[in-house]
Amino acid sequence: MATTVPSRTLSPPKFPRAISRPLSPSNFRSSLFSSIYTWSPWKPAGSDALGLEFTPMLWGTKQIADFKRLVKAGYARTALGFNEPDHSGQASLDPGYAAQVWRDNMEPLKNIGYRLISPAVTSAPAGKTWLKNFINACSGCHVDAIAVHWYGTDPQAFISYVQDFHNTFGKNIWVTEFACQNFSGGSQCDQNQVNNFMNTVTAWMDSTGYVERYFAFGIMHDMVGVNPLNQLMASNGQPTALGWNYLT
């Protein structure tokens, strides 16, 4: 999935909420937000002036040249790994090959002070297996926190999923995509369910010390197949009612 995402972080001080690629980051600035990413190495214009910490991503192999050209000392402090490498429609990488790409393009950033966030796998069962295989193949590689994506309709299932990834990998968590979305053929959330899902999971993440950042899906016009009731940005570029709730 793709867009610009601001995040928030909690104590000390934690502003884990974040956003992903809004057309105008200034429309999504609030005291709760600390960071932004764009599913790419390209920094949105104006994000530095707004005090939003940009986190570049090496989405997949098609972005290697641009990533290496842009992501230097001083450009950012943290870098995100591959986007859904276990999904054939996204980065689509074998864990062993992904480990080599990581060694060649992510590991050198550690030597210039970057924190490195793991590839973000899908919430399908194969995602966790892929990440385990990647970490085994990338023995000695630096992974400072684990990125996760989650789509579903049950907020308690979301909480259990994030807890499981934290317990399995023993690292802090970045939730870099999440929404109240059924990809299993069942009924979609109505607006009340979307609102309840957002309120429940963000309150839990705000109170959970090992969740460093979270980025709701999505701050965009085209929701790329995700239930549009999750949309945080209206057609005029301003926040929707749900977007205002997320901002505050």
Quick one: pLDDT band at residue 52, thresholds 50, 70, 90? confident
Question: One-letter amino acid identity for 43?
Answer: K
DSSP SS3 for 136: helix
Percent of the chain scoring above 90 in pLDDT: 76
Mean pLDDT confidence for 27-37: 76
Cβ atoms of 247 and 239 within 8 Å: the answer is yes
125 CB-near residues (< 8 Å, 6+ apart)? none
- 72 has a pLDDT exceeding 60: yes
pTM: predicted TM-score of the whole model, two decimal places: 0.90
Q: What is the pLDDT of residue 207?
A: 97
What the chain holds in terms of domains, given with CATH numbers, is 4-247 (3.20.20.80)
Q: What is the pLDDT of residue 6?
A: 47
Integer Cα distance of 76 and 58 in angstroms: 13
Q: What is the pLDDT of residue 247?
A: 86
Mean pLDDT confidence for 14-30: 59
Mean pLDDT confidence for 131-145: 98
- 229 has a pLDDT exceeding 50: yes
Model pLDDT for residues 79-115, shown as the tens digit of each residue: 999 999 999 999 999 999 999 999 999 999 999 999 9
DSSP character string of 63-75: GHHHHHHH--BTT
Mean pLDDT confidence for 200-218: 96
